[in-house]
């Protein structure tokens, strides 16, 4: 079973994705989706993805909502920054954030969050995963930003992945 389905969650997600994309649960589509869910993880196995355990669904949901809110707020801030950049140039800079999260899957999720939020860009991760270099579009208060970053994104990710 483990050899046939090395990543059961990925298989399930691909199967559901196929059905939702086709908007049908006809036997043919059920079969094609199942085939996709079966073959894709087998072809990805040589990449040696790290096994993932889904824990704390409540925390995942809360994190998604918080990220959604931050994306909207950051969208408005960047849009305002673009419109007013003639009179007040945005205070862009790099900041170093000390990380406590070490799990590779968790860090991948963190990099997704930081790039999806328009105001921040993941720039570099130290080899020992202890420091993150982040580019911020308009930085107001560095200490406050790091505090927000660690409590809103990093701590829930540690609860989910570690």
In whole angstroms, how close is the CB of 154 to other proteins at the nearest point? 16
Chosen residue from 119, 139, 157, 158 binding other proteins by CB under 8 A: 119
Residue 132 bridge partners (DSSP): 97, 125
- Residues 6+ away with beta carbon under 8 Å from 132: 96, 97, 99, 110, 122, 124, 125, 126
Burial readout 54-78 (b: 16 or more C-beta within 10 A, e: otherwise): eeeeeebeebeeebeebeeebeebb
In whole angstroms, how close is the CB of 2 to other proteins at the nearest point? 25
Per-residue interface string for the shown chain with other proteins, residues 29-68, x marking contact by CB under 8 A = ----------------------------------------
Which residues are at the interface with other proteins (CB under 8 A)? 17, 20-21, 23, 71-72, 75, 78-79, 81-83, 85-86, 89-90, 92, 94, 96, 111-112, 115-119, 121-128, 131-133, 135, 137
């Amino acid at each position: 079973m483990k050899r046939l389905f090395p990543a059961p969650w990925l298989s399930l997600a691909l199967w559901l994705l196929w059905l939702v994309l086709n908007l049908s649960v006809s036997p043919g589509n059920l079969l094609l989706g199942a085939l996709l869910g079966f073959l894709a993880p087998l072809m990805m196995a040589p990449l040696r993805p790290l096994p993932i355990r889904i824990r704390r669904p409540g925390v995942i949901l809360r994190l998604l909502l918080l990220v959604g809110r931050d994306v909207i707020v950051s969208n408005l801030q960047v849009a305002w920054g673009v419109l007013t950049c003639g009179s007040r140039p945005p205070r862009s800079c790099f900041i170093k954030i000390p990380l406590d999260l070490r799990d590779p899957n968790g860090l991948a999720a963190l990099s997704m969050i930081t790039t999806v939020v328009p105001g921040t860009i993941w720039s570099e991760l130290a080899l020992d995963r202890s420091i993150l270099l982040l580019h911020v579009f308009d930085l107001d208060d560095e200490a406050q930003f790091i505090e927000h970053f660690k409590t809103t994104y990093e701590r829930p990710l540690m609860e989910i992945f570690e």
